[in-house]
Structure 1
Amino acid sequence: MAEDPAFPGDTGMRPERRSAAIAVADVVGSSVLVGMAPDAAHQALTHLQDTALVPLAVAHGACFQRSTGDGTLVEFPSADAALAWALAAQRAATATAADPRSLPIALRISIDVGEVLVAKGDITGQCVNIAARLQEHAPPGGLALSEAARQALTAPPPGLVNIGSVSLRNILGQVRVALLLPECPPRVPRPAPLEGRPAVAVLPFHAEDADEASRYFNEGAIEDIILSLGALHELAVIARGATLGWAAETYDPPTLGRMLGVRYLVSGRLRRRGDGLRLRVDLHETQEGDQLWSERFDIPLREIFLVQDHVVERTVAGIAPTIRAAELRMALRKPPQSLTAYDHTLRAMHALDGLKRDTFRAAEQHLQQAMLDDPGYATAAALAARWHSLAIGQAWSENPANDAAQLRELAHRAVRLDPRNALGHAISGHFRAYHLRDPESALPHLRRATEVGPSCALAWTLLSGSLSYLGRGAEALEAARRGLALSPLGADRYYYQFFEGLAQHVIGDQAAAARSMRLSLAESPGFTSAHRILIAALVAQDECAAAQAVAAEMMQCEPRFRISHYARERQPFADTALGRQLLDALRQSGAPD
């Protein structure tokens, strides 16, 4: 490439060897910028080159400069001159991006020193190659210096961070590197995630009254929301640092979605109200900018930190099912040949909603296809394990032993693929509790599920089940209500209501247990587990006629049900008294022995 006319360079007659410092500046995410707004991006990049990078290079004694379109390579006579230019260039880029309406242009700059060869209007050498590769390790808005460059400086800048040796592409050996981090991370555009999961960004909440209490609450709540959403494996949540500098009140959702590479945005507005704070949290999709969900919270200042967990829990409980519903609508509109593993998984979850026998097999087919399309997708394997568990529990299995083996293998596969997959740990635990009838050994797996996925509703709910099977009703009820709170609007609410009712039955609150079971059956009339606990709750209240009516409904759903077989194979209670009470109630209801 020809040299810039602003620099004398060589005459092209004979090569020249000389010692030099090479600085390389690159615009972060330039391909994303060009893809989103090609004309504006070209204009902004050209303006930065013409008004800042080139004039500053001349001012700091550059010997040679080459434009790379989205960056620049400059030769200086010394490392000190290269550093002075790099710092000035970063200040210029920061000033350019100071207007929040401008494109987010941030530079990565690297410096190396060594011998170069200048010939035919170009510059080559090992230090040129190292500098070009080294900029990939520089932080946006900051610098990366090789050890040779650092030692060549008269006065290294304060704040250099030694990160040790790194490998560079197409460079033999390793290079020791020191970084200079920016005082304030700049805005940078992000490419959309390559994986199929929808990506969501949680923006800093806009605080109208930036006092200390609102600032602490703002930072803590956002961090907790990001961590909680990140534990849900159906979402890809971008890091908090990527959203710094972006404000929902300055940009519209489509612009932010393109810049951050996300499909969904969570934003909030925090203001003082009397002796407390009022927070409004919104969820927008970024294609059309539509608001999908919103909730308002009033937070007393005296309880600000006590309320924070509640705000986070309610926010996650509103966002997660809303995004799932939006993604499902898109997946259902796609032709079968274009479905991804994630789309197949969504369709499987939809087919399982309500536990209807006529859609149950379709769920299995979608999960099998998802695992074929993406063998490393842990969530598909965990959901497939749950499918086999439900098949056994509903007596829909034609071969329970085979389904149990498949359940165990798939649950273990999910955990192997992703040790932080809460659903896989939860299903592994439930397999031990319900299918092996050993709830005590299930507890470590279920506790692990709630640790790695504190926002996974099913993990808390299945933990509640094991505690109920052991007769630990108070603990079971607490876990069940945690699971129900995390999934208040989901189509599988019937499942969470069942386990709440199971815990109520265990602690002896039979009226509450009966109410919960009727709510569960209202949403999933074929869920025979709820029939059985409802029968037990009714018999305990001497409502035998009502229990007989429920038993008749259960037999319509499960005509082959026999108490003797159920006692041997599926009766879940490890607590002997609870197990005997359930079987006695089934006999009193008239269910066949």
Structure 2
Amino acid sequence: MTELYVRLFGGFGVYRSAGPSIVFPTRKARALLAFLARHPGQPQGREGLATMFWPDSAESEARRNLRQALKLARRALADQGDAIIVSQGDALVLESSAVEVDVDLFERLHEAGTPEARERAAALYRGDFLEGVNLADGPFADWSMIERMRLHERALDIFSGLLADRLEVGRTESAIDMALRLLELDPLQEHVHRRLIRLYLERGRRGSALEQYHVCRAALERELGSRPEPETEQLYQEIRRCRGELPASAPGRSAQPAASPSPPAEAPLLARPAVAVLPFAHLGGDPSQTYFADGLSEDIITALAGWRCFPLIASSSTFCYRERGNGLHGIAAELGTRYLVDGSVRRSGTKLRISAHLVEVETARYLWAERFDLDLHDILAVQAEAAEKIVAAVAPELQQAELRRILTKRTEDWNAWDYFLRGWSLLNHFTAEDNARARSDFEQALRLDPTYSDAFMGLASGHLRDLFHIETAASREEALARGVAAAREAVSLDPNSSSAHHVLGTAYTWVEDYDAAIAETELAIELNPSNAFARMALGNRLDLIGQTAEGIAQMLHALRLNPRDPRRFNFMRFLARAHIAVGEYETALRWARKAVQLRPDQPDLHFRLAICLAHLDRTEEARTALHRSERLRPGFLESRQNWQPYTDAARNEHFFAGLRRHGLFG
């Protein structure tokens, strides 16, 4: 029988089936209940809980603090018989039959995917996960942030589906309500603004349509410092003509907004795309605060320079465009850039809001836009943190935009940069066939430019990725030797390339020279602190040599830098193994499941999922995961028989102990 209702959307609250909300005496007691409630019915190891909530305390002290928080939580719940928070050996579990949790139900409804389920899920979403609640710092805060972002994306998916559902059956008024709710979640979805404007026009509500245009324009100007897209402006002109405010267009011609400049006929572009960072606008009333916006722009330029893939225009050239009088197309033409990074800064007391966006000038498209809300505790630290986050997002978006561009060109027109970019994209498919095609592209790039460091870096990555697919010892030795040689050549051609040092560190890891591997990876981060993949690699390598706590911290930092990258399943693969190493099997299982959800075609991910399940004595589920990995690549389990990821026998034995205890492996 359900005794409690736990609300995690839009804050935190625990209620009895009939009665007021329950008051918990401490933040940690509330945080403990919130964490257990996120996955009711799933045991959470006490060691992992202690580490999550008291990461800086000694193990004995952290355990003692956990017992106290548990005691206070049970007292608040009047859980005298331990029927709600149940002890199972060295784990705690929130009894699923005793509680109903809004997020848990939301997830199940999202998975169901029917219009009725979406309606029920939308009603549950009262705000972001643990919105406005600071229950605990450290690892719990990191976990909360990742959950908040993931659930926010699911809410957008559900509301978008509901909008489509309602439009399909002609429920215009309820579609309007859903569009408004979507814009509450993300006011920068310009296509939703346009849909809402058209819905208003269908209902004859021209005044509401006009007002919605102004809401859209104000949001874009406030958050991004930009104007609406041409399609939105054209819709606005149509509204004004309907109201008799503009003459009808001449036959055969469509009205264009006068304020939208035409792109220049020619813009000098380099073989690789040039990028310019314009000075961020300061939106506050105090001109003396402009220094922060300028400092942020300088930090972004410095951090982007660490990627070395794109020619970067110096601040001495870009800062003269503070007033934007020439328009973005004019600025890009004068600077010879294909992309512009722009944004704004608004300060209110101790709060800081930074909006940033990446523009592809040729198409006038916003490739990426994001808002960052930060506490102004240390202005220099906040400035560096904001720049790091912006650059970590912008650099991958630039590569994706360039990949889309080159794939529309004829192959005979490609230059070395184009071949490198396609090769790098193919590497991320993680298949033997695409790996071979990627190496061919890198080799073609080197035929065009024999001194191209990035092409050697890509070639090294291709040879090292082959090690996941090659079975014979002789072939593995050859691939490894080629990978090491190409990585060393990449570094020798460009000693300041973070990516080159990163891949050389990977090569040293494969030859088990961990001191050299960590030194190269630390240098990669020093050269480019925004390189999330180098941070993840460092965390992985620290775990391999036994410094797992520090390794996990680096990996979580990498995920914060790059929370949406499609390759993040690799981050989760390494996190799962690291948490197994410290006995946090439930946490390891969560990361393994997330990795499998992102790439269900990867046999190694199912294998690691099986390891996590076996440690938790979920034998049949582990056996199923092993069968899936073998079906995906016959012979895979045999190839893993002698795998020893760690540098000492005891840790390797512990890693496989669950599978061997149940007779599933080895």
- State the TM-score, normalizing by the size of structure 1: 0.63
The 8 Å contact of residues 580 and 655 in structure 2, kept in 1 or not, is answered as: no
Are 2:486 and 1:410 aligned?
yes
CA deviation string 1:20-66 (max 9, x = no partner): xxxxxxxxxxxxxxxxxxxxxxxxxxxxxxxxxxxxxxxxxxxxxxx
* Counterpart Cα distance in 2 of 1:532 and 1:275: 47
Choose 382-391 or 271-280, whichever is displaced more. 271-280
The 8 Å contact of residues 269 and 338 in structure 2, kept in 1 or not, is answered as: no
Mark the CA change 1:338 to 1:586 in structure 2 (over 3 Å): closer, same or farther.
Answer: farther
Mark the CA change 1:366 to 1:586 in structure 2 (over 3 Å): closer, same or farther.
Answer: farther
* Counterpart Cα distance in 2 of 1:507 and 1:318: 31
Gap runs ≥5 in structure 2: 1-266
Are 2:655 and 1:582 aligned?
yes
Tell me which protein shows more strand as a share of its residues: 1
Tell me what 2:355 maps to.
280
User: Aligned with 2:367: secondary structure?
Assistant: strand
Tell me what 2:416 maps to.
341
Tell me what 1:321 maps to.
396
Are 2:636 and 1:558 aligned?
no
Tell me what 1:425 maps to.
501
Match of 1:482 among 557, 564, 570: 557
Tell me what 1:69 maps to.
none
Quote the offset at 1:272 in angstroms: 3.8
Mark the CA change 1:299 to 1:572 in structure 2 (over 3 Å): closer, same or farther.
Answer: closer
User: Aligned with 1:201: secondary structure?
Assistant: strand
Mark the CA change 1:498 to 1:562 in structure 2 (over 3 Å): closer, same or farther.
Answer: closer
Quote the offset at 1:248 in angstroms: 5.9
Are 2:351 and 1:297 aligned?
no
The 8 Å contact of residues 385 and 410 in structure 1, kept in 2 or not, is answered as: yes
* Counterpart Cα distance in 2 of 1:561 and 1:463: 27
Mark the CA change 1:461 to 1:299 in structure 2 (over 3 Å): closer, same or farther.
Answer: closer
Matched residue type, 1:547: A
Quote the offset at 1:328 in angstroms: 0.7
* Counterpart Cα distance in 2 of 1:311 and 1:554: 40
Quote the offset at 1:517 in angstroms: 1.7
Quote the offset at 1:588 in angstroms: 4.9
Matched residue type, 1:426: H
The 8 Å contact of residues 630 and 637 in structure 2, kept in 1 or not, is answered as: no
Tell me what 2:623 maps to.
548
Quote the offset at 1:391 in angstroms: 1.2
Tell me what 1:264 maps to.
339
* Counterpart Cα distance in 1 of 2:558 and 2:516: 21
User: Aligned with 1:333: secondary structure?
Assistant: coil
Alignment of 1:194-273 (within 5 A): 194=270, 196-209=271-284, 211=286, 214-247=289-322, 249-273=324-348
User: Aligned with 2:555: secondary structure?
Assistant: helix
The 8 Å contact of residues 473 and 503 in structure 1, kept in 2 or not, is answered as: yes
* Counterpart Cα distance in 2 of 1:589 and 1:548: 10
* Counterpart Cα distance in 1 of 2:471 and 2:325: 54
Match of 2:515 among 440, 443, 456: 440
Tell me what 1:30 maps to.
none
The 8 Å contact of residues 348 and 364 in structure 1, kept in 2 or not, is answered as: yes
Matched residue type, 1:412: R
* Counterpart Cα distance in 2 of 1:223 and 1:375: 33
Q: Find the structure with the greater CA-based Rg.
A: 1
Quote the offset at 1:591 in angstroms: 5.7
Alignment of 1:116-195 (within 5 A): 192=268, 194=270
* Counterpart Cα distance in 1 of 2:595 and 2:520: 26
Quote the offset at 1:312 in angstroms: 1.6
Tell me what 1:572 maps to.
645
User: Aligned with 2:407: secondary structure?
Assistant: helix
The 8 Å contact of residues 535 and 589 in structure 1, kept in 2 or not, is answered as: no
Mark the CA change 1:338 to 1:584 in structure 2 (over 3 Å): closer, same or farther.
Answer: same
Alignment of 1:81-96 (within 5 A): none
Are 2:525 and 1:450 aligned?
yes
Quote the offset at 1:489 in angstroms: 2.5
> Structure 1 vs Structure 2: percent identity of aligned residues?
30
Tell me what 1:387 maps to.
462
* Counterpart Cα distance in 1 of 2:375 and 2:565: 30
The 8 Å contact of residues 614 and 622 in structure 2, kept in 1 or not, is answered as: yes
The 8 Å contact of residues 229 and 316 in structure 1, kept in 2 or not, is answered as: yes
Quote the offset at 1:303 in angstroms: 4.8
Quote the offset at 1:214 in angstroms: 3.0
* Counterpart Cα distance in 2 of 1:528 and 1:587: 19
Are 2:477 and 1:401 aligned?
yes
Quote the offset at 1:362 in angstroms: 1.7
User: Aligned with 1:533: secondary structure?
Assistant: helix
Quote the offset at 1:429 in angstroms: 1.5
CA deviation string 1:482-517 (max 9, x = no partner): 222333232312222222323322332221211212
CA deviation string 1:444-474 (max 9, x = no partner): 1111111112222221111111111112111
Matched residue type, 1:532: F
Tell me what 2:582 maps to.
507
User: Aligned with 1:559: secondary structure?
Assistant: coil
Mark the CA change 1:528 to 1:424 in structure 2 (over 3 Å): closer, same or farther.
Answer: farther
The 8 Å contact of residues 282 and 294 in structure 1, kept in 2 or not, is answered as: yes
CA deviation string 1:142-188 (max 9, x = no partner): xxxxxxxxxxxxxxxxxxxxxxxxxxxxxxxxxxxxxxxxxxxxxxx
Tell me what 1:376 maps to.
451
- Give the alignment's Cα RMSD to 1 decimal: 2.5
Match of 2:441 among 362, 366, 371: 366
Matched residue type, 1:572: P
Mark the CA change 1:249 to 1:507 in structure 2 (over 3 Å): closer, same or farther.
Answer: farther
Gap runs ≥5 in structure 1: 1-190
Mark the CA change 1:399 to 1:301 in structure 2 (over 3 Å): closer, same or farther.
Answer: closer
* Counterpart Cα distance in 1 of 2:659 and 2:430: 23
User: Aligned with 1:334: secondary structure?
Assistant: coil
* Counterpart Cα distance in 2 of 1:467 and 1:213: 44
User: Aligned with 1:492: secondary structure?
Assistant: helix
Quote the offset at 1:476 in angstroms: 0.8
CA deviation string 1:5-27 (max 9, x = no partner): xxxxxxxxxxxxxxxxxxxxxxx
Mark the CA change 1:268 to 1:562 in structure 2 (over 3 Å): closer, same or farther.
Answer: closer
Are 2:385 and 1:310 aligned?
yes
Tell me what 2:167 maps to.
none
Matched residue type, 2:544: Y
Tell me which protein shows more helix as a share of its residues: 2
Quote the offset at 1:200 in angstroms: 0.8
Quote the offset at 1:319 in angstroms: 1.2
Mark the CA change 1:420 to 1:546 in structure 2 (over 3 Å): closer, same or farther.
Answer: same
* Counterpart Cα distance in 2 of 1:279 and 1:457: 21
The number of residues matched between the two structures is 400
Mark the CA change 1:210 to 1:413 in structure 2 (over 3 Å): closer, same or farther.
Answer: farther
Tell me what 2:606 maps to.
531
The 8 Å contact of residues 561 and 592 in structure 1, kept in 2 or not, is answered as: no
Tell me what 1:181 maps to.
none
User: Aligned with 2:364: secondary structure?
Assistant: coil
Alignment of 1:18-37 (within 5 A): none
